[in-house]
Structure 1
């Protein structure tokens, strides 16, 4: 009954008070060897140090401050620039594609009809101007060559006949002149003798008069015969010269016919009866340098004059045709500086200028083509011949009218991390601060900083990767970078 009463008296609050007193007594007894105040102070110092470290680590994890040692700074090869005002050109970014330079497209067509004997160039092969691409057998060419040789032979024969006749008539005239002059001299001697006898009164006057008459007739006969022979010569040579002239006209016509078929002066000079051209061999030559992009012939096929046998494209320069929407046209000008970046080579900047704006708007896309001509030179990113291939996609950055921006930095200073864009600002010789920035893209590899940076601050443009690595090391608990 006594026990039951005690249990009744010890209600729940009293039980908790009794247990608490017991725990206090036990704790005091266990710590009898070390003073409580000393233990508490020591424990307090330990807690305070732990809380401080935790707090510091928490701050470091979210800190934008990065410090380096001198060795780290030197190894990082950090480069700095001063943010400040500058004249900038806003950039207009337009999509586009690489296309063939239409001014450098060559259609290879024969000037005669004929049957394809052989094909020398195939799809994808490079060609040089004047290089043989195929051979035809042409009856038309054979006839033209034979006619030329005939005309040339006739001219040669006519010239030889003329020269022979000139020589013949010259000899006849000379002989006639000699004979008749001799006759005149004889008659003159007779006349002089009769005249002398007459003066000596040895002879009568009649023989002298007859001698004089014979002398005059001889002179007259000489002039007459020479004149007649010269007239006959002139008439004959005139006919021969007319014939030579006519033959030369025919030869020139035959020569021009061969020239229209593609033969050169060298070909005509070397043309003879044994030449393959006479048998109708027509060599089709490449009109210019380029690459065969299309072939439309096969051996044995008959082709007409003017048929399109090959298409050759000279890809040493190509066009990049950008598409500008109607609302963007006022920002696009001929001669505007342009930087092209292709999807295939994102690290390569190809510089040029807007050379032409289409006069017609594409009815489907509602855009106007802006043409930039690019030299198709070998690239380090892809050391292949003619790396700019028609059909490649990309974009072009066009410079608009200049204006003054208050804070401008190189694009290389930007660090992109997921959706964040920031820069590292030097706050002390070995200390840098991460600074989130709001930017606007401008031309020339620069950006305008709209927020987050002031003019005159020193910004890192080289070595940002090292600073980013040091920042990450701190976030992962690797300790301070210094």
Structure 2
């Protein structure tokens, strides 16, 4: 019995040791599989975002240049008018009466001058035969000079009154969209004081906005003349794309010390008059010249506290984290300013299974160029100054 018990115990111990030996020799789990790709290299242009409003290039208050009663209105409220088009008529009868009076005074002055010249000629003839004194001739000559002056004054009065008659027709000083009339027919208007209506030019039109001092410094350090002449794109508040193109034509010479901003302005063609002064819009200004950029999907970027990382698979198949400097977005891709080389294999898929220093199985993938819809681009709160990029061809 003792021998049987010992044999059973030995067999049990042997099985236990065999089980332990079997567990120790189990194969390790396979390396996780990830998708890797080299960064997409593409020519891009960075754009900076601003908010502003459209402004008329010219705005004129239409005032009469004569005093009188308004007799007629020649336009419809809101109508487009051409420069020189008649807008209002002021009662011209008093001005015409003054013009007639000035013409009569001119005729009288001309008659007096003709008589003075006749008297002078007679006196000179008599003086030649010693029948008239030298003093008399000189007096006749003075009368002629006075007559000439009177004629010139009368002619000037006629011209002045002709202008007054012409001013009774109030004309548009510029081409543009006229506002509503502010004075009705029958009311008295005062020269150079009563505002009859306003006219604003419509094509082209300005878009005014303010930028930060930091962006102004960036443009100046790029030797870009504070970005004057650079292309801009504008979208209205109900538009999804930046459909309105223009160019920057003015940057103020000083910075607002209170806000730390500088006023700038772009000029936009508006042939159909669709854009109105006062409209709100978003503007994008080309912040750089076209440059070659490395692009990665935004999903390939890992946040580690304040750092931004990408995971690279080295030649040994190990995961290596690399800090990177981010640029603007290009659709669903992100510009990588620095931190990696164009030949490195970056994990773009299965990144949640990768750990720094871990061996992985790398599967080759490809980064597809982004499909750009500028109006739908969304920028994270920690975005760099340039908020978006586009392919260089799209900036032309």
Misfit runs of 4+, over 6 Å: 450-453, 455-464
1:441 matched to 2:334: no
2:175 aligns with 289
C-alpha separation in 2, matches of 1:335 and 1:303? 44
Select which of 232, 239, 251 maps to 1:356: 251
Q: Which residue of 1 is the match for residue 59 of structure 2? A: 105
1:258 to 161, 165, 168: 161
Compute the displacement of 1:292 (Å). 0.4
For 1:95, the equivalent position in structure 2 comes to 51
Give distance in 2, aligned partners of 1:250 and 1:355.
48
Give how far 1:118 is off. Answer: 0.6
Q: Matched residues in 2 for 1:356 and 1:151: separation? A: 57
Q: Tell me, yes or no, if structure 1 residue 124 matches structure 2 residue 17.
A: no
Structure 2 counterparts to residues 16-415 of structure 1, below 5 A: 84=41, 90-101=46-57, 104-137=58-91, 141-142=95-96, 144-165=98-119, 173=125, 226-229=129-132, 231=134, 234-235=137-138, 237-255=140-158, 257-258=160-161, 261=164, 263=166, 282-306=168-192, 307-325=194-212, 328-331=215-218, 333=226, 335=228, 337-343=230-236, 346-357=241-252, 359=254, 361=256, 368-377=262-271, 385-400=272-287, 405-407=292-294
Q: Is the CA contact 1:111–1:262 (under 8 Å) kept in the aligned structure 2?
A: no
Q: Structure 1's 355 and 461: CA in aligned 2 closer, same or farther, altered over 3 A?
A: same
Tell me, yes or no, if the aligned pair for 2:203 and 2:270 is still in contact at 8 Å: yes
Q: CA deviation at 1:235?
A: 4.1
Structure ranking higher in helix proportion = 1
Tell me if structure 2 keeps the 8 A contact 1:113–1:140.
no
| Corresponding residue of 1:270 | none
- Cα distance, 1:373–1:347 mapped onto 2, change above 3 Å: closer
Do the aligned partners of residues 84 and 141 (structure 1) sit closer, same or farther apart at CA in structure 2, a change above 3 Å counting?
A: same
Distance 2:120 2:334 in 1: 91
| 1:453-464 equivalences in 2 (<5 Å) | 454=342
CA contact (8 A) 2:244 2:268 kept: no
- Which whole-Å deviations, capped at 9, do the CAs of 1:413-441 have from their partners, x for residues lacking one? x99xxxxxxxxxxxxxxxxxxxxxx9843
What is the aligned partner in structure 2 of residue 39 from structure 1? none
Distance 1:439 1:366 in 2: 26
How far apart in 1 are the matches of 2:133 and 2:295? 100
Q: Spell out, residue by residue over 1:329-356, the C-alpha distance to the aligned partner (whole angstroms, 9 max, x if none).
A: 5346351624122125525241301512
Q: Residue 402 and residue 131 in structure 1: after superposition, are their counterparts in 2 closer, same or farther (change >3 A)?
A: closer
The 3 A distance-change label for structure 1 pair 342 and 227 is farther
**How has the CA–CA distance of structure 1 residues 135 and 406 changed in structure 2, closer, same or farther, with 3 Å as cutoff?**
closer
SS in structure 1 of the partner of residue 173 of structure 2? coil
Query: Displacement of 1:152 after TM fit?
Result: 1.9
TM-score (norm 1): 0.47
Contact 1:118/1:135 (8 A) holds in 2: yes
Counterpart-to-counterpart distance in 2, 1:257 and 1:447: 71
- SS of residue matched to 1:121: coil
How far apart are 1:132 and its partner, in Å? 1.0
* CA distance in 1: counterparts of 2:336 and 2:158, whole angstroms: 74
2:278 alignment partner, SS class: coil
Q: SS at 1:228's partner residue?
A: coil
Give 1:240 shift.
Answer: 3.6
Q: Report if aligned partners of 2:95, 2:165 keep a CA contact under 8 Å in 1.
A: no
**In 2, Cα distance between the equivalents of 1:152 and 1:391?**
53
Distance in 2 separating the partners of 1:155 and 1:313:
47
The alignment partner of 2:160 has SS state of helix
| CA distance in structure 2 between the partners assigned to 1:316 and 1:397 by the alignment | 21
Unaligned stretches of 5+ in structure 1? 1-62, 65-81, 177-223, 264-280, 378-384, 416-437, 465-482
